[in-house]
Amino acid sequence: MRLWHTKTVWEKLAREDAMWAVLTDPAKDRNRWQVDEFFATGRATVDADMAYLSTQLPTLAKRDALDFGCGVGRLSQALAPHFDRVTGLDVAAAMIEQANQHNRHGERVTYVHNPAGHLRQFADHSFDFVYSVITLQHIPASLQRGYLREFLRVCRPGGAVFFQLVTTEPDKRWRFSWYPPTMWMRIRRYFRRAATIDPTMTMNAVPRAEASNLLEQAGGRIVDIQPYGAAGELESWSYLVTKD
Ligand SMILES: C[S@@+](CC[C@H](N)C(=O)[O-])C[C@H]1O[C@@H](n2cnc3c(N)ncnc32)[C@H](O)[C@@H]1O
């Protein structure tokens, strides 16, 4: 249900204004992003992240990269000069369709639709580098945990996983109320949410310590965790993880 809801929201956002859904600059709503300007933001982000990566893991192999939550390919296109092959993956078919239209690297960049809570369409050890920025934060926390395990499964030994995560909950109001929701209230809220597709993106956190434990249990070795400003006022960190 949670995945279906996420997918439905992003299909809708992608059909209305995909570039704005990816980068919600108030000055660019109603299809006002210029394509060149939009993709230039991707190059700036990827070039900065690659420069950081080369200081942390200078010998990383650069054959296959996975861009998880690729949207219209803003970052996948920017990864292409750094890797032999790039696979962009997204839950929304409407994003993948537009990513293909914007592909400037032929067969070196491929886009795949993955409406699933796992990455089983890829074998173990498929990628040297798994990358995901401003995506996990929009995915319910229970699904995020599953994808993090999958990132390590598809990463090759000696490869790296780099992703950005929000670590503080945007809204904890009910926790401070005198009357926390009863089971009945929760059930009612669950079905109300399921019945109405609210086309706004949600923000979801996984606490830092929990993410670190999970990554280590999945066979990862954390190289570095840094503040990564990508989620407005919410606390957001980048994780760089390798697999021995
Ligand atoms: C804010 S956009 C960021 C896109 C891209 N990472 C970028 O920075 O240009 C978030 C993307 O994550 C995708 N997404 C959301 N849930 C997903 C999931 N469960 N699996 C894969 N992609 C997902 C959305 O469809 C959307 O394209």
**Beta carbon of 75 within 6 Å of any ligand 1 atom:** yes
- CA-CA-CA-CA dihedral for 108, 109, 110, 112, to nearest 10: 150
> pLDDT value at position 183?
67
CA of 74 to the centre of ligand 1 (A): 11
Model pLDDT, residue 200: 65
Euclidean distance between CA atoms 221 and 80, whole angstroms: 26
> Could you give the CA distance from residue 143 to residue 101 in angstroms, rounded to a whole number?
29
pLDDT, position 25: 87
Is 2-243 a CATH 3.40.50.150 domain? yes
Residues 153, 162: Cα–Cα separation, whole Å: 14
User: Which residue numbers in the chain have pLDDT < 50?
Assistant: 172-179, 197
Q: By alpha-carbon position, which residue is closest to atom 27 of ligand 1?
A: 71
The predicted pLDDT at position 172 comes to 47
130 lines ligand 1 (CB under 6 A): no
Q: What is the per-residue pLDDT for 1?
A: 66
What pLDDT, in 10s, does the model give residues 108-161?
Answer: 999 999 999 999 999 999 999 999 999 999 999 999 999 999 999 999 999 999
Rg (alpha carbons) of the chain, rounded to whole number? 18
Nearest CA to ligand 1 atom 3: 22
Q: Distance from the CA of 180 to the center of ligand 1, in angstroms?
A: 32
The pLDDT, as a whole number, for residue 178 is 43
